[in-house]
Each structure stands twice: as structure tokens, then as C-alpha cells.
Amino acid sequence: MSRSRLLQIIVGLLVMLGLLLWLISTLASLHAGLAGLSPVLADLALWVILGLIAILLAALGYYAYLFFRPQRPRERPQVPEVKAEAAAENLRAVRQQVDQIQDEVARQAFEERSREIEAYLARGEIRVVVFGTGSAGKTSLVNAILGQMVGQVGAAMGTTTQPQTYKFRLPHVEREIWLTDTPGILEAGVAGTGREVQAREMASNADLLLFVIDNDLRKSEYDPLRSLAVMGKRSILVFNKTDLFTTEELEAIRLHLQQRVQGFIAPVDVIAVAANPPEVRLESGDRFQSAPEILPLLRRMAAILRDEGEDLIADNILLQSQRLGEEARQILDAQRRRQAEAIVDRYQWIGAGVVSVMPLPMVDLLAAAAVNAQMVVEIGEVYGCQMNLERGKELAVSLARTLVSLGVVRGAMELLSLALQTNVATFLVGRAIQGATAAYLIRIAGKSFIEYFRRDQDWGDGGMSEVVEQQFQLNRRDEFIKLFVQEAIAHVVTPIRDRLDNKQ
Ligand SMILES: Nc1nc2c(ncn2[C@@H]2O[C@H](COP(=O)(O)OP(=O)(O)OP(=O)(O)O)[C@@H](O)[C@H]2O)c(=O)[nH]1
Ligand SMILES: [Mg+2]
């Protein structure tokens, strides 16, 4: 403690002691004066005055406490808890899906993306992405916002070839802001297209999008802007290079822009700026560079980030994790489909082999062969559904009935008879038709079961019949039947012919 402070405290204490002594002597003389008149009145007056002093001291103490109490550090605003929890929950589910992806490269890419989202959730920065056509002035805008030349500016399209991210802060916005400059969209050439994909990806991951244009909105700008805004991307439409227009032109364009984006961008979020007004030569011959005019944009950004920042982040994390989940689900679906189709493929030719050597009444035999309980169980396993053989059989039998009742058995036989008669020697045609039809029906049954398990063991509104009918329609196209017959000849006819040849 400094000496002057110590001195202040001692002087303060002495003053207080003096005041206290003065108060006591004043009260004592007041009490003595009143006691001469009435001792009871003297006591009462003394207590009232002491009570008032006590109340005064308590009030003073309370306000002193409020004034001097240690300030709790301001808590950092957290992402709204419910949404953040939903996003974390979603990410956990996505991770489980990702674990099942067998393709190493795809799995690693998904793991990387889910780690990125988690890191983003933990860090909580606000990501602002500057996006738009080549040469609209995106890099100029980034330079102006940051107040320094961080990125190269050029008249030709394609000046920025890689996204660049810069960190900065805005007054009254708690979180750090990551500002990303992206390569322009609609650049010519393959390199431009690749960059465009990257830029679009970054735009769809942004918390806040600054969509930069330098004239009226072209269709090629309107479409991506609309689809990003409609998908829930918070966007500001930044109309740059306003120095090139007269005040009247400017107002007309601004009004027109506000009308065009009505419905997905509010009029206050259409903002005119001049990020990098060019140097002008004055009459005196001196060169003059006017300052960028971006203040309205900075104000609007600060207002949005201050008022909606927390929601923007939470919504965005949720959106990203949902997108990741959807993509993982599609890959997993394709992977399971490939595995399940391989099972169907195996069973269809096993069934065909069995049927082609067993002379049984055609319709019964085909329907029975078409549905193999073991195949049902195996397809179920691919889709993570454990079922016993008994249940597999139940499903198989009801599907067999449906195949017969829908006329698929007869239909398949007619289709294949027609195709095989021209391809196979007469003495083999009967067996070939029997075998190929069995394979074909197993295929229809297998494909129908794939649909059933894909939909979480649900046949859908139209029931089993609709799924079977659909599969029959899909598998009766000419091109497919031609290929199928070739395969059937290889799997069914050739082995029979070989056996007969060996016997002779
Ligand atoms: N008149 C005028 N020109 C500007 C303004 N802002 C940018 N420009 C010019 O527009 C051209 C393109 O600017 P950039 O900032 O490189 O544009 P970009 O959108 O980053 O372009 P890419 O990186 O190629 O996609 C440059 O010649 C800038 O000087 C402005 O406010 N007024
Ligand atoms: Mg640029």
C-alpha cells in the first residue's frame, strides 16, 4: 500500500472519530436538555435519533457494497444450449454411421469433417464468408474491412485462387470473427470450376454470408444466392463499386435489388458500398484516393452478429452436422445396397441351378425357389437387422404368394421364354426357361427385400405388392432382359450342356 493511501486512510479515520465524538456530545447535551422537561421524552428522542442513524449507516453500507463489490468476469455467451446439444447429439449419431463406412478414403474424409465441426463447436468463432462473382470486389472488401491490404486485388477475374481466412474483431461482438475471402464463382475454365466448388462449399459452411455483386443481380448470381439463403444461410447482399454510379442510378439499382431478393433477404440487408474506389486525378494534377465506403456494412454486420450471432452459430452447426449425416447416410446406403445385391446375385444363380435340374410343377417350384429364407436373413443382416430363420421364412412365404397373385411368375416366364427361345437349342429350352425364371424371380424377391430393409422394415404405404410390382417393372426393360439372358445362359444352360456332353 502506498504511503499517500495510508495517510488518506488515517486522516479519514480521524475525521470519522471526530464526527463520532461530536455526535455523542451533541446527543448527550440534547438528552440532558430534554431530561429537564421529561426524562421519558428524552429517552424516546435519543432512541429515535439512534435508530435513524442506524438506518442511514445500513443504507450507506449497502450502497458502498454495491459500488465496491468485485465484478464477476462477464461470461462468454454460449451457443444456445438446446440447439448446441441437438448438434452434438446429431454428431454422435453421424459418427456411428461413419464408423460403418468401409471405404477407407471416404471414412477418413467424413471423420475429418466431423472433427472440424466439433472443433468449431468448441471454439465458437463466427465465420463470415465473402462470396460472389469474379472481380466483383470481394478481396477489395476484405481489405477494406480489415483496414489493410491482405489480399491481391486485380481487374481480371480469377485474381484470388485460394480461399484466405483472416481473424478480426468488431466492437461489441464478443466472439472472434473469421473472415474468408473466396475465389470468384462463374470463372471460365476447369480451374475456375474446381475453385467454384470450393467457394460454394465454404459459403454453405458460413455463419454469415457477404454476397458481393457490382451491378444488378445476374441470373447466375441470383440462383446461388437464392439457394443459399433459402437453405437458411444468413446473408447480406453487398452491392459494391457504388462510386461508378450517380446517386439516382444507385437508388434505382438498390431498390430493384431489394425487390428481386424480397422474400429471402430483408431490404436492410441489401447494402451499397465502395470497397476500393479508384484513384482520381484532380484538376491541380494531384492524385486523390478516397477512402473505402463500407461503414453501413460494418454497422449492419456488427448488429447482426451482436443480436443473432449465437443463434447463427447454433443453427449453422446443426445444419452442417445434418448435412454430414445425410451424406454419410447416402454413402452407407450405397455400400449396403452393393453388399445386398451381391447376396441376391449369389442366391439367384444358386436357385437357378437347383430348379433347372429338378422336374417339379413349374409355378409351385418357381414361387418356392424365388424366396429363400436364408437370403432374407442375410439381406437383413446387411441392414443391421438380426432376424431368425423362422421370421425369414414367414416373410419369404408371403412374398412368394404376392409374386404368384400379382402374376409376376407367369409374366417372368413369358418374358424369358421369348428371349431364350431364339438363343438356346430346342432340347434345352424347357430347363433353361425354368432355371432363368427362378433366377429372375429370386432377383425380384431379393430387390423387394432390399427396399423393405432400407425403409427400416417397412413396405411403405402401398404395402408389399406395390414394392414387388415396382421391382418387376424396373427389371423388365428390354436392355436388362437381354443382359440377364446372357448371364442365364452362362450360369444355367452352359452347365447343363456340359453335363450332357460329359455323359455322352
Ligand atoms: N470503381 C471501383 N472499383 C473497385 C471497387 N472495389 C473493387 N474494385 C476493382 O474491381 C476489380 C476487382 O477487385 P477484386 O477485389 O480483385 O475482386 P475479386 O472479387 O476479389 O476478384 P477475384 O478474386 O478475381 O474473384 C479491381 O480492379 C478493383 O480495383 C470499388 O469500390 N470501386
Ligand atoms: Mg479476389
- CA–CA–CA angle 185, 188, 189 (5° rounding): 115
| CA–CA dist 93, 324 (Å, integer) | 11
Among 94, 102, 168, 91, smallest CA distance to 130 is for: 168
Burial of 449: CB neighbours in 10 Å, binned 0-12, 13-18, 19+: buried
What pLDDT score does 154 carry? 81
What pLDDT score does 171 carry? 84
Helix (H, G, I), strand (E, B) or coil at 464: helix
What pLDDT score does 73 carry? 44
Helix (H, G, I), strand (E, B) or coil at 316: helix
| Nearest-ligand number for the alpha carbon of 276 | 1
| Nearest-ligand number for the alpha carbon of 214 | 1
Q: How far is the CA of 213 from the centre of ligand 1 (A)?
A: 10
Atom 11 (ligand 1): residue with closest C-alpha? 155
Q: How far is the CA of 186 from the centre of ligand 2 (A)?
A: 13
Q: pLDDT by residue for the chain (504 residues), tens digit each?
A: 567 778 888 898 999 889 888 988 888 888 888 888 888 888 888 888 889 989 998 998 888 887 766 554 444 444 556 777 887 888 888 888 898 898 999 999 999 988 988 888 888 899 999 999 999 999 999 999 998 878 888 878 778 889 999 999 988 888 899 999 999 987 655 556 788 888 888 898 899 999 999 988 988 899 999 999 888 899 999 999 999 999 999 999 999 999 999 999 999 999 999 999 998 888 888 888 888 999 999 999 999 998 888 888 888 888 888 889 999 999 999 999 999 999 999 999 988 888 777 766 655 655 565 568 999 999 999 999 999 989 998 999 899 889 989 999 889 989 898 888 887 777 778 888 888 888 999 999 999 999 999 999 999 999 999 999 999 999 998 889 989 999 988 988 888 778 777 776
Atom 9 (ligand 1): residue with closest C-alpha? 137
Cβ of 151 closer than 6 Å to ligand 1, yes or no, is: no
- Which amino acid is residue 317, in one-letter code? I
| CA–CA dist 474, 471 (Å, integer) | 5
C-alpha cell at 41: 421524552
User: Across the chain, which distance is largest between two alpha carbons, in Å?
Assistant: 152
Helix (H, G, I), strand (E, B) or coil at 454: helix
Cβ of 136 closer than 6 Å to ligand 1, yes or no, is: yes
Q: Are 199 and 208 in contact (CB under 8 A)?
A: no
Cβ of 372 closer than 6 Å to ligand 1, yes or no, is: no
Query: What is the atom index within ligand 1 of the atom nearest the CA of 273?
Result: 31
Query: What is the atom index within ligand 1 of the atom nearest the CA of 153?
Result: 16
| Nearest-ligand number for the alpha carbon of 158 | 1
User: Which domains, ranges and CATH numbers included, belong to the chain?
Assistant: 18-68 (no CATH), 81-278+289-326 (3.40.50.300), 335-503 (no CATH)
Cβ of 133 closer than 6 Å to ligand 1, yes or no, is: no
| CA–CA dist 30, 117 (Å, integer) | 77
pTM across the whole model: 0.66
Q: How far is the CA of 158 from the centre of ligand 1 (A)?
A: 11
| Nearest-ligand number for the alpha carbon of 131 | 1
Helix (H, G, I), strand (E, B) or coil at 180: strand
User: Half-sphere exposure of residue 10, counting CA atoms within 13 Å on the CB side?
Assistant: 7
Query: What is the atom index within ligand 1 of the atom nearest the CA of 160?
Result: 23
Q: How far is the CA of 240 from the centre of ligand 2 (A)?
A: 13
Cβ of 241 closer than 6 Å to ligand 1, yes or no, is: yes
Q: Length of the chain, please?
A: 504
Q: Which of 200, 271, 276, 280 has most ligand 1 atoms within 8 Å of CB, for mutation?
A: 276
Q: How far is the CA of 382 from the centre of ligand 2 (A)?
A: 49
Query: What is the atom index within ligand 1 of the atom nearest the CA of 157?
Result: 24
| Nearest-ligand number for the alpha carbon of 292 | 1
Cβ of 195 closer than 6 Å to ligand 1, yes or no, is: no
| CA–CA dist 288, 281 (Å, integer) | 6
Please give the radius of gyration of the chain, using alpha carbons only, rounded to the nearest integer. Answer: 40
Cβ of 134 closer than 6 Å to ligand 1, yes or no, is: yes
What pLDDT score does 191 carry? 58
Residues with CB under 5 A from ligand 2 (ion): 138-139, 159-160
What pLDDT score does 359 carry? 62
* Alpha carbon distances (Å) from 441 to 348, 357, 365, 383: 8, 17, 11, 22
Cβ of 469 closer than 6 Å to ligand 1, yes or no, is: no
Identify the H or E element spanning 12: helix 3-37
| CA–CA dist 197, 263 (Å, integer) | 26
Q: Are 305 and 286 in contact (CB under 8 A)?
A: no
Query: What is the atom index within ligand 1 of the atom nearest the CA of 212?
Result: 19
Among 336, 364, 368, 370, smallest CA distance to 452 is for: 336
143 — phi, psi (to 5°)? Answer: -60, -45
Exposure class string for 372-389: b at 16+ Cβ within 10 A, else e: bbebbbbbbebbeeebee
| CA–CA dist 433, 424 (Å, integer) | 10
What pLDDT score does 75 carry? 45
| Nearest-ligand number for the alpha carbon of 215 | 1
CB atoms near residue 81 (< 10 Å) = 9
What pLDDT score does 6 carry? 83
User: Half-sphere exposure of residue 418, counting CA atoms within 13 Å on the CB side?
Assistant: 10
Cβ of 162 closer than 6 Å to ligand 1, yes or no, is: no
Query: What is the atom index within ligand 1 of the atom nearest the CA of 155?
Result: 27
Own/partner long-range contacts of 101-110 (Cβ < 8 Å, ≥24 apart): 101/328, 101/331, 101/332, 101/335, 102/335, 103/331, 103/335, 106/331, 110/324, 110/327, 110/328, 110/331
| CA–CA dist 106, 4 (Å, integer) | 71
Q: How far is the CA of 161 from the centre of ligand 1 (A)?
A: 14
- Which amino acid is residue 382, in one-letter code? V
